[in-house]
Amino acid sequence: MKKLMIPAIAMALMTSTASHAHRMWIKPSVTAVSGQDETITFDAAIANQMFVPDHVAMPLTRISATAPDGTDVALEAAHKLRYRSVFDLTLKQNGTYWVGMKFASLRASWKTPDGETHRWPGRGKTGDAAALKAALPDNATDVEVVDYYSQADVFVTSGAPSFELLHTNGKGLVLSGGTHPNDVYTGEPATFAFSMGGDAAAGAKATLVKGGERYRDTASGDTMTTDANGSLTLNIDEAGMYFLDVEYEDNKAMAPAQRRQGSYVLVFEVLPG
């Protein structure tokens, strides 16, 4: 992948560690169709390599889909395999569909007098303030509580792109403005803006990875930082499927949390300009 030209943001080109971590993604076979009632196939996984399922399947119970008119859409032919989940989606309406996963939970750690560190609520589980209060021992020290949100998005469009399901505002880290993900072309600037709880996610750390890293012998991914408006402006000169991971943290959490953290993943396609 040729070097990205990213004006108006602070950017650091460095060796990415993303290739050594498990990454969550939902990948469509295509992101845009022009005919009526066309079907798109999806893979969903938590994997070591980009778009290569090699670790564990994403649970289907956490994946949902919404039609352009805001109604829920059932996943079709859904199966959870060993390393990936697969499903279809037939686009019966014109416009843009949302497919994704949202997760929210308090996370906490503390120490007990014996020096042991405890982490709560356990892998894959969710917890709220009431459950934390019940679980936290009276003699706990070094208590750290984080309000954590995670979201993975992919948008697919039948006909012309629509914005009704984009640019949302919520407690978690979300895509809140900019270019439609199904309208990104090589050689043309694409801007993605992010916010958390209505606040611009300024200074968020982002990693952009092009699919096919399995066949590249160089470090995978370009790292960058959002500007004061929580925005990234990308000028990508190579077509393909891309993975964008954004991580944000601040101290604006509500008690009992001291910090809030957001993780956001967008899979989008760049078409030849």
The segments of the chain whose pLDDT lies below 50 read 1-20
Over residues 217-234, the pLDDT tens digits come to: 765 688 999 999 999 999
Over residues 64-92, the pLDDT tens digits come to: 999 999 999 999 999 999 999 999 999 99
What dotted CATH number matches 18-105+146-270? 2.60.40.1930
pTM beyond 0.85, yes or no: yes
Inter-residue contact 135 to 118 (CB < 8 Å): no
